[in-house]
Amino acid sequence: MKKTLVFLLLILVGVSGWAQDNSKGYKLWTDGKLTIEDFQSRNVKSVGFTLDPVETSYLEALIDFKSEKVKKGNLRYYRPVSCTKADLLNSWYAPDYYTSWTVRYNQVIFDIFEASRREIQNQLNTEGADSYNKDYLMRVLKSRVDTFKGESAYGRDTSVIRDYEFKYSEMLDTLVEKEPVAFPGKVRKGYGMGLWIGYNPEVYFGKINNWVSMAHRLSFGFDFYYDRISLGLLMSIGPAGKLKKGDFYNDHRENYVWRQGEKVSSHEAMFKLGYTIYDGSILSFTPAVGFGIGGFEQKTGDYDSDDNPVTSNVDGFRVAAGADFGFKLYREIDPYNMVGEIPLRFSVYGAWMRLRPCDVFSINAGIKLSIDSWFAK
């Protein structure tokens, strides 16, 4: 629920840059080769090693992932990007065992991480995040590092270090990152909801024009979605001019006869069922039907015990049919596979309402701005 509210409000969180890593005790592979200053000096005896320690230096390297926002037309989506970095606070060497090969040995490990990162990134760029098997790829990386450590006797066999330097130098020269082609494209939508507000004028036809004029109404509501099906509640209220004739309706319960020349308001509250026939990256088309209540009201000039104005209402059953034409101003797919959209919708529908004075026929042509959010399938 929290994630849905975040997307309904479109609170978009920016991603911090890799450049901040240096200040946090990290060194990126792209910052250049390792130096002895990148390692902490440690006495190996003080941490439980024997006089002939297995490891006389250690590089704490890792592959880090972040989400990068990508813009394409009206769509914003996130793709994973990675970097190789060394943890300078937890990388160390033993001064008593230091040689000119110490840094070169650890640089090879750093290069192995970077080569694996590029392979992973290329898989993400070309096949998408759904194909990314983190557990398997991390095990492959660990196997490569362990093999190198074993074959080089933890940096003692300098001929193996030379071979690996040459091998990974060539690999990194040829292993370039591919351009991202994995694009969300058309996303299948699952469950979701939306909130909207708009302007919904109503033009009346027939006998009702003897009493009231065109209504100018503020409309608002919410929708629940599943795939292409939508079920929503819409409410509208607004002025409908001044009453043209005084014999519109006699409210016997309130002993009030509606007065000619006094302002009249129009209102409706309806359930709406729609099915989206076309749902493209920019446009959508959704026929819909609705049913509920509608009517008119006029202030009587009296006040209740709480000093609120008393109104006289005439209500009736109301049905409507029409369609929404959507123009998507903004779309976003977040790292949690949620879809957010801000469409501007134009609606046209005809309505019939059964009132005590007369049947009411009308045409409604409105515009509304919606904020929608779905879970993608």
- The mean pLDDT value for 223-241 works out to 94
- The mean pLDDT value for 61-67 works out to 91
Decide: helix, strand or coil at residue 61: strand
Is pLDDT above 70 for 117? yes
Is pLDDT above 90 for 42? no
Report long-range pairs for 163-170 (Cβ below 8 Å, ≥24 apart).
Answer: 164/108, 164/112, 165/104, 165/107, 165/108, 165/111, 168/108, 168/111, 168/112, 168/115, 169/111
pLDDT given at position 17: 52
pTM of the model: 0.70
Structure tokens at 48: 């439980």
Distance (Å, rounded) from C-alpha 341 to C-alpha 257? Answer: 48
Distance (Å, rounded) from C-alpha 40 to C-alpha 330? Answer: 49
Neighbour count for residue 215 (Cβ, 10 Å) = 24
Q: What mean pLDDT value characterizes the chain?
A: 86
- The mean pLDDT value for 12-39 works out to 74
Is pLDDT above 50 for 8? no
Structure tokens at 363: 């045409």
Decide: helix, strand or coil at residue 29: helix
325-345 pLDDT per residue, tens: 999 999 998 877 788 999 999
pLDDT given at position 248: 84
The H or E element containing residue 139 is: helix 134-151
Structure tokens at 5: 């509210």
Alpha helices in 179-334 (DSSP H): none
